[in-house]
């Protein structure tokens, strides 16, 4: 007996039985991932709002709500790239939110007579937090002893800008920040545009030491929730359907144009950086636009056809919605693949690749490197024999960032 999700017009997340045996779940049938239930054989939205109480189920066990008792739910939601926590009363259908510093919260679960979750903020690493009925919180566990100087932390600014199709796009802007650094008179900082992975994932404003690495060395960073990102409603998420390699590229370019028009960055020293699906956005932006002067592709995609034929089972049909059916629309795959249009890529690129990668095979980077070197483009190709899709070992992570920083110093003659 199918009670919800019997067509392709909605996405269902976290079906769960309540203590009084009602089926609850998150659905985006009204464009926003809201908590719903089956009551007396009929489905109803418990709390109708322009909030997202769901997220992509990349892994099993992901949760955004839990039952404290039969009528009380501890829940998490996102708006404008930030996460919030609250208590949902399912009888009166009211939502009471917690006021705190946390902007990234996940993994809601019951804890004694209350509930807890993993939470982080722009200035603190993630902790396990206990949310109480009186909307107070206390820290159950803080794993990091990392000492951070607040004056050296770049704080994100949530921004909006207009991109292709007159669509409003969201991003976080991080200005350069280092109490020991002084820029030259009238000098604008170089900028790094970040393209998140997925591609239908998202970015938030929690403390990201990788971003702080760049801002502490004089770079401005813009972290973009380009069209297709989750957390902004189903319609926004679907704007990437059939448009991967177009909408995301437009949005990264417009983010740079927006910041340059506000006098916050140097448009002649702009870099685009991304991994996996974000690496495809990097290579596409460098190939099909002139916005960026250098790029970094971390285990990125240069040939969509090879990805369609040779990726892992979980994402084997991902491209059907992002690009189109393969091989029926082979022409689009070739049209969007940077490897076939490398003549348009004329700026320096650094490639970082794990040789054990099963998601994006190493030959993707190898092919792009060969084509660009044959053209005489300045290329750096850094490989890690003991890494897969993403770098896990500290020594390799350090090497990747140092190599990338050295690359930008060479390209832009920087002193950092």
Whether residues 408 and 306 fall in one domain: yes
Q: Could you tell me if residue 389 is inside a domain?
A: yes
Whether residues 170 and 203 fall in one domain: yes
Q: What is the CATH number of the domain that holds 329?
A: 3.40.50.1820
Q: Could you tell me if residue 4 is inside a domain?
A: no
pLDDT at res. 58: 83
Rounded to whole angstroms, how far apart are CA atoms 304 and 20? Answer: 48
Counted domains in the chain = 2
Whether residues 85 and 176 fall in one domain: no
Whether residues 57 and 192 fall in one domain: no
Q: How far is CA 304 from CA 94, 194, 295, in A?
A: 46, 21, 19
Whether residues 129 and 59 fall in one domain: yes
Q: What is the CATH number of the domain that holds 113?
A: 2.120.10.30
The answer to whether the beta carbons of residues 116 and 126 sit under 8 Å apart is no
Residue 216: which domain range? Answer: 150-412
First and final C-alpha spacing in the chain: 63
pLDDT at res. 5: 82
Closest CA to 148 of 171, 119, 121: 121
Kindly state the DSSP code that residue 388 receives in the 8-state scheme: B
Rounded to whole angstroms, how far apart are CA atoms 100 and 226? Answer: 27
Got the DSSP string for 20-64? TS-EEEEE-TTSS-EEEEEETTEEEESS--S-B-----SSTT--S
Who contacts 127 (Cβ-Cβ below 8 Å, separation ≥6)?
118, 119, 120, 139, 140, 141, 142, 143
The low-confidence residues of the chain, meaning pLDDT below 50, are none
Who contacts 289 (Cβ-Cβ below 8 Å, separation ≥6)?
249, 253
| 3-class state of residue 126 by DSSP | strand
Q: Could you tell me if residue 297 is inside a domain?
A: yes
pTM above 0.75, yes or no: yes
pLDDT at res. 416: 66
Whether residues 170 and 260 fall in one domain: yes
Q: How far is CA 81 from CA 24, 105, 164, 247, 317, in A?
A: 25, 11, 20, 19, 27
pLDDT tens readout for residues 290-318: 999 999 999 998 899 988 887 777 777 88
φ/ψ region of 396 (left if φ > 0, alpha if ψ in -120 to 50, else beta) reads: alpha
Q: Can you state the percent helix, strand and coil of the chain, rounding each to 5?
A: 25, 30, 45
Residue 78 pairs in a beta bridge with 52, 83
The answer to whether the beta carbons of residues 333 and 320 sit under 8 Å apart is no
Rounded to whole angstroms, how far apart are CA atoms 167 and 248? Answer: 12
Whether residues 218 and 90 fall in one domain: no
Whether residues 93 and 155 fall in one domain: no
Last residue of a domain, one of 141, 163, 198: 141
Last residue of a domain, one of 110, 141, 172: 141
Q: Could you tell me if residue 7 is inside a domain?
A: no
Rounded to whole angstroms, how far apart are CA atoms 194 and 214? Answer: 11
Q: Could you tell me if residue 401 is inside a domain?
A: yes
- Which helix (H) or strand (E) segment holds residue 114: the answer is strand 114-121
Whether residues 229 and 375 fall in one domain: yes
Residue 303 pairs in a beta bridge with none
Whether residues 72 and 102 fall in one domain: yes
Whether residues 130 and 163 fall in one domain: no
Q: Could you tell me if residue 221 is inside a domain?
A: yes
Last residue of a domain, one of 141, 167, 184: 141
Whether residues 115 and 164 fall in one domain: no
Q: Could you tell me if residue 6 is inside a domain?
A: no
Closest CA to 245 of 165, 333, 166, 316: 333
Q: Could you tell me if residue 2 is inside a domain?
A: no
């Amino acid at each position: 007996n199918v009670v919800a999700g019997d067509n392709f017009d909605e996405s269902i997340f976290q079906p769960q039985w309540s203590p009084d045996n009602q089926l609850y779940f998150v659905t985006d049938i009204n464009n926003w991932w809201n908590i719903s239930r089956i009551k007396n054989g009929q489905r109803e939205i418990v709390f109708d709002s322009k909030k997202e109480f769901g997220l992509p189920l990349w892994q099993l066990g992901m949760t955004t709500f839990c039952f404290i008792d039969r009528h009380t739910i501890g829940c998490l939601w996102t708006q404008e790239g930030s996460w919030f926590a609250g208590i949902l009363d399912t009888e009166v259908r009211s939502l009471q939110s917690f006021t705190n510093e946390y902007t990234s919260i996940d993994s809601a679960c019951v804890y004694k007579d209350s509930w807890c979750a993993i939470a982080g903020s722009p200035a603190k690493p993630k902790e396990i937090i206990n949310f109480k009925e009186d909307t107070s919180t206390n820290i159950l566990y803080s794993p990091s002893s990392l000492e951070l100087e607040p004056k050296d932390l770049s704080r994100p600014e949530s921004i909006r800008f207009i991109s292709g199709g007159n669509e409003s796009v969201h991003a976080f802007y991080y200005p350069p920040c280092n109490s020991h650094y002084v820029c030259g008179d009238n000098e604008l900082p170089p900028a790094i545009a970040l393209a998140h992975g997925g591609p239908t994932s998202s970015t938030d404003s929690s403390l990201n030491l990788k971003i702080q690495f760049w801002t502490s060395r004089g770079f401005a960073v813009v972290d973009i929730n380009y069209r297709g990102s989750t957390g902004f409603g189903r319609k926004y998420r679907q704007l990437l359907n059939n448009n991967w390699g177009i909408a995301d590229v437009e949005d990264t370019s417009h983010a740079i144009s927006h910041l340059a028009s506000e006098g916050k960055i140097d448009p002649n020293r702009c870099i685009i950086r991304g991994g996996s699906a974000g690496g495809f956005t990097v290579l596409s932006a460098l190939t099909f636009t002139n916005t960026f002067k250098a790029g970094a592709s971390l285990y990125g995609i240069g040939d969509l056809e090879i990805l369609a034929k040779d990726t892992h089972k979980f994402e084997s049909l991902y491209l059907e919605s992002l690009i189109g059916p393969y091989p029926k629309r082979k022409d689009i795959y070739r049209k969007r693949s940077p490897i076939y249009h490398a003549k348009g890529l004329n700026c320096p690129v650094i490639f970082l690749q794990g040789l054990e990668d099963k998601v994006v095979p190493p030959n993707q980077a190898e092919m792009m490197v060969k084509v660009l070197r044959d053209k005489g483009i300045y290329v750096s190709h850094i490989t890690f024999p003991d890494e897969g899709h993403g770098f896990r070992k500290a020594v390799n992570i350090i090497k990747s960032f140092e190599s990338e920083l050295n690359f930008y110093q060479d390209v832009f003659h920087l002193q950092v």
